[in-house]
Structure formats: structure tokens, C-alpha cells
């Protein structure tokens, strides 16, 4: 397995961040995302259904599925056992990073300051998540943080919607953009997969080369 997120994403630039409450929605959700052109997805460990949803989505041929909101080594182990191909955390946690290294799976810790970024770089990581991106100052903050660290790549996430997407994707330091707006719990509750497909296709188009 590679420890490089860029290799797993393989050019995908839009990362749907999912909170799945009912595992029965995982199949149609994966279909809708893939039909909309998504090639990756992050299933957050925020619900009891997360592990089962991840397992179901990981078997979907078209999507590289990772785990989000991973807060401990134990969760990282469970996520990888369920098929996660990468692990995302809201913050920088040494235990999570060490566990992922042991598991040989890419880990993307959240950072919001230069100090946290330096900690991640010192640990040998090159890709981090700017989180919460918009509340931390958005693109201006991302550019300011990226300037002294030309090797760092960012996956800004948090508060981003269709209106901010193009700006982030145009920045050379941005590997991909994450967000929940593509498939919200409300979409899943109402079974509105058509809207998930539409929002995904619209976002993927913005990130197309």
C-alpha cells in the first residue's frame, strides 16, 4: 500500500465528506457519487453506521474510500480493516499518525497553524488538511501558510461550498478540496440521490483539467 495520498487520489480533486447514519444508504450513495464523477470519498467516523457504510462503499469499484474524523489509533485500525484507503483526522495527533504509518496507509491530519504544519512536516508528511478552512481564513490563510513550505500540499476542508471551490482548486498548493455539501445527511434522509449526483458532477467539472 502507498503512504502517499496523491497516489491514492490519482488526480481526483473533489473529496465528498460523508456522514452516513443508515448503512442501507451507502450503496445508492456510492453509485450517485460515482455517477457524478467522484473518484474518492471520505466516510466520517461520527455515526455508529460509519464502519459498515465504509465497508460497503469500499467495495464500490469506482471510489477510493477513506475514513474521516479518525481520532485514535484504534479507530484508524478499524477504518483500515473496513477497507479505508486513507485516514483523515480533524487535527494533528501523533498516535493517529503513528498508527497509520504502521498500517502503511496515507494519513491526512488537520492543521490550522504554521506550528501544526511544521509538526506534520517533521513527521515526514507532505499532505495535510487545512481545517476548518473557511473559519481559519480560507484561501488567504492557505496561501500564507503554504508560502514558507513549498513542499506542502493541502486538502482544505470545512465550510467550503460551490462558491469557494474554484478559488481553492486554482491554487497550486491544493491537492484536492473536501466538503460535505455534495452529499449531506439531509440528502440521504430524503433519498435525494439525484441532487447528490448533480452537485457532484458540478463540482467535479470545476476540478476538471
Ligand X SMILES: O=C(O)C(=O)C[C@H](O)[C@H](O)COP(=O)(O)O
In whole angstroms, give the CA distance from residue 96 to residue 69: 11
Least distance between ligand X and beta carbon 66 (Å) = 9
In whole angstroms, give the CA distance from residue 187 to residue 65: 19
Q: What is the bridge-based pairing of β-strands 64-68 and 40-44?
A: parallel
Least distance between ligand X and beta carbon 88 (Å) = 4
Closer CB to ligand X, 138 or 179, in the complex: 179
Catalytic residue among 55, 74, 116, 129: 129
Closer CB to ligand X, 140 or 150, in the complex: 140
Give the CA-trace dihedral at 163, 169, 170, 173, to 10 degrees: 140
Closest CA to 125 of 98, 103, 147, 159: 98
Contact 142, 170 (CB under 8 A): no
Stated as kind and residue range, the H or E segment containing 64 is strand 64-68
Least distance between ligand X and beta carbon 108 (Å) = 8
Catalytic residue among 42, 51, 55, 134: 42
DSSP-derived secondary structure letter, 148: T
Closer CB to ligand X, 83 or 156, in the complex: 156
Name the CA radius of gyration of the chain, rounded.
Answer: 16
Closer CB to ligand X, 29 or 88, in the complex: 88
Please indicate whether residue 55 is annotated as part of the active site.
no
Partners of 110 in the beta sheet?
A: 129
Binding footprint of ligand X on the chain (CB under 6 A): 17, 42, 44, 68-69, 88-90, 131, 157-160, 178-180
Please indicate whether residue 129 is annotated as part of the active site.
yes
Closer CB to ligand X, 148 or 156, in the complex: 156
**Residues 95-119 as b or e (16 or more Cβ within 10 Å = b):** ebbebbbebebbbbbbbbeeebbeb
Least distance between ligand X and beta carbon 59 (Å) = 22
Least distance between ligand X and beta carbon 48 (Å) = 16
Give the catalytic positions in this structure: 42, 129
Amino acid at each position: 500500500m502507498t503512504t502517499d495520498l496523491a497516489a491514492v487520489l490519482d488526480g481526483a480533486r473533489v473529496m465528498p465528506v460523508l456522514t452516513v447514519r443508515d448503512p442501507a444508504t451507502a450503496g445508492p450513495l456510492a453509485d450517485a457519487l460515482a455517477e457524478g464523477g467522484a473518484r474518492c470519498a471520505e466516510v466520517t467516523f461520527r455515526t455508529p453506521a460509519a464502519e459498515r457504510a465504509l465497508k460497503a462503499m469500499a467495495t464500490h469499484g469506482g471510489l477510493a474510500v477513506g475514513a474521516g474524523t479518525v481520532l485514535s489509533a484504534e479507530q484508524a485500525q478499524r477504518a483500515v480493516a473496513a477497507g479505508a484507503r486513507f485516514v483523515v483526522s480533524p487535527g494533528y495527533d501523533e498516535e493517529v499518525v503513528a498508527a497509520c504509518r504502521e498500517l502503511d496507509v496515507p494519513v491526512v491530519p488537520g492543521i490550522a497553524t504554521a506550528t501544526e504544519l511544521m509538526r506534520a512536516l517533521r513527521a515526514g508528511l507532505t499532505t495535510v488538511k487545512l481545517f476548518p478552512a473557511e473559519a481559519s481564513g480560507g484561501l488567504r490563510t492557505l496561501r500564507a501558510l503554504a508560502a514558507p513550505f513549498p513542499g506542502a500540499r493541502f486538502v482544505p476542508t470545512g465550510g467550503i461550498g460551490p462558491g469557494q471551490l474554484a478559488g481553492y482548486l486554482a491554487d497550486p498548493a491544493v491537492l484536492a478540496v473536501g466538503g460535505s455539501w455534495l452529499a449531506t445527511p439531509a440528502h440521504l434522509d430524503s433519498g435525494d440521490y439525484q441532487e447528490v449526483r448533480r452537485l457532484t458532477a458540478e463540482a467535479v467539472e470545476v476540478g476538471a483539467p
